[in-house]
Amino acid sequence: MIPDFQTIMLPLLKFFSDGKEHAKREVVDYISDEFSLTDEERFETYPISGVKKIYSRTDFAERYLKGALILESIRRGYCKITDRGLSVLKNNPEKIDIKFLSQFPEFVEFRNRRRQEDEDQTINKEETEQTPLEQLEKGYAKIKADLARELLLQVKQCSPEFFEKLVVELLLKMGYGGSREDAGEALGRAHDGGIDGIIKEDRLGLDAIYIQAKRWNGSIGAPLIREFIGALARRNANKGVFITTSTFTDAAQDAIQGPFRVILIDGELLTRLMIDYNIGVATKVAYEVKEIDTDYFIDE
């Protein structure tokens, strides 16, 4: 399991106990080995920012130790332990965390704490386990999940004709369909035994993708998928996308076989794609997350 950033602090400081300069990549590799992370854990990323979790947590641990003047930046991308850091290690602490670092005035200033004295003694459990980036990701994920639920309800209330238009807009934003005119003419006019329309796979029209779009309340079962695949076979086609506002049963998933490449997009994935490609949603506010580039202030 990937350790939280405070758990990383003590082993990270011990790594610097040799007094040498070390690059960020060395530190991340050492921490990964120290906690016996699997290959999957070493490459695990946050869903929103795409930043590797072990890199982010190691970076925050290193940054906090710098804030306490336990580590220092020597040149761009490199750190080393300070005399204070060596002194801390000589006392053989059982752990180093935010509470431990708060004994140093420089660290308190670094965090710019503005809490009452009694609150300073209490470390919030979530703060202990999560970096500020993780807290931001968690909040953003909740906002996005709430939006997706509201969006799906809205889509289910629209007419079948509007739903087909929505599908066209989404596929165009995703890079399919050629022009809006081509896509609008293709989708919603075929209605040939399980196929609602045809859309170009790319702007050159080198291949076609067959579409089934169902504004549905119950689960989509295997019979409808087999009907869709049968329609593909009659057209000597093997690529299709089945889009619905509901869900697919396990039998529906299992019904896809043979040479057919059929993508099933349920209501949850549909709303996720709509949010990602700005269909039916608008940006209310945008935040840029910035941090001090401590390497900038190093004289080389």
Whether residue 291 is contained in a domain is answered as: no
How many CB atoms lie under 10 A from the CB of residue 103?
10
CA 243 – CA 206 distance, rounded (Å): 22
- Asked if residue 187 is part of any domain, the answer here is yes
Whether residue 17 lies inside any domain: the answer is yes
Q: Are residues 121 and 200 in the same domain?
A: no
> Which residue in the block uniquely carries the two structure tokens 């291949």?
207
The pLDDT score that the predictor gives to residue 128 is 53
Q: Which of 10, 185, 31 is nearest to 88 (CA)?
A: 10
Q: Are residues 121 and 156 in the same domain?
A: no
CA angle (247 as vertex; 245, 248 as ends), nearest 5 = 130
- For residue 297, being part of any structural domain is answered with no
CATH code of the domain containing 208: 3.40.1350.10
Residue 211 and residue 111 share a domain: no
Do residue 84 and residue 157 come from a single domain? no
Question: What pLDDT was estimated at residue 120?
Answer: 44
Task: Check whether residue 87 and residue 14 sit in a common domain.
Answer: yes
| Overall domain count for the chain | 2
Are 19 and 81 in contact by the 8 Å Cβ rule? The answer is yes
Residues 89 and 195 in one domain: no
Show the tokens assigned to 277.
Answer: 């490609």
Structure tokens at 267: 């209501």
> Is 195 in the same domain as 270?
yes
The pLDDT tens digits for 208-253 are 888 888 888 889 999 999 999 988 888 888 889 999 999 999 999 9
Q: Is residue 84 located within the same domain as residue 57?
A: yes
pLDDT single digits (tens) 183-198: 555 555 545 556 777 8
* Chunked mean pLDDT (size 10), the chain, 300 residues: 93 95 92 95 86 90 92 86 95 93 89 47 51 78 85 87 84 76 55 70 74 86 91 87 93 87 93 92 76 62
Do 75 and 174 share a domain, yes or no? no
Q: Which of 73, 116, 60, 70 is nearest to 93 (CA)?
A: 70
Residue 288 counted as domain residue: no
Specify whether the CB–CB gap between 145 and 139 falls below 8 A: no
Q: For the purposes of burial, counting CB atoms within 10 Å of the CB of 18, is it exposed (0-12), middle (13-18) or buried (19 or more)?
A: exposed
**Could you tell me which residues are beta bridge partners of residue 242?**
212, 264
H helix runs in the chain, sequence order:
5-15, 24-34, 39-42, 53-67, 83-90, 98-101, 105-111, 117-120, 125-129, 132-157, 160-173, 180-186, 222-234, 250-254, 267-276
Sequence-ordered list of residues with C-beta below 8 angstroms from that of 12, at least 6 positions apart, any chain: 27, 30, 31, 58, 61, 62, 65
Tell me, yes or no, whether 95 and 160 share the same domain: no
Domain boundary among 69, 103, 130: 130
96 part of a folded domain = yes
Same domain, 61 and 179: no
Domain range for 125 is: 5-130
Question: Does 289 fall in a domain?
Answer: no
| 123 and 172 assigned to the same domain | no
> What pLDDT is attached to residue 290?
72
Task: Please give the backbone phi and psi of residue 208, each rounded to the nearest 5 degrees, phi first.
Answer: -120, 150
Q: 């965090």: which residue's tokens?
A: 111
Quote the pLDDT of residue 169: 84
Look at residue 199 and tell me if it is in a domain.
Answer: yes
Contact between 67 and 5 under an 8 Å Cβ cutoff? The reply is no
The DSSP-derived string for 57-100 is HHHHHHHHHHHTTSEEEEETTEEEE-HHHHHHHHT--S---HHH
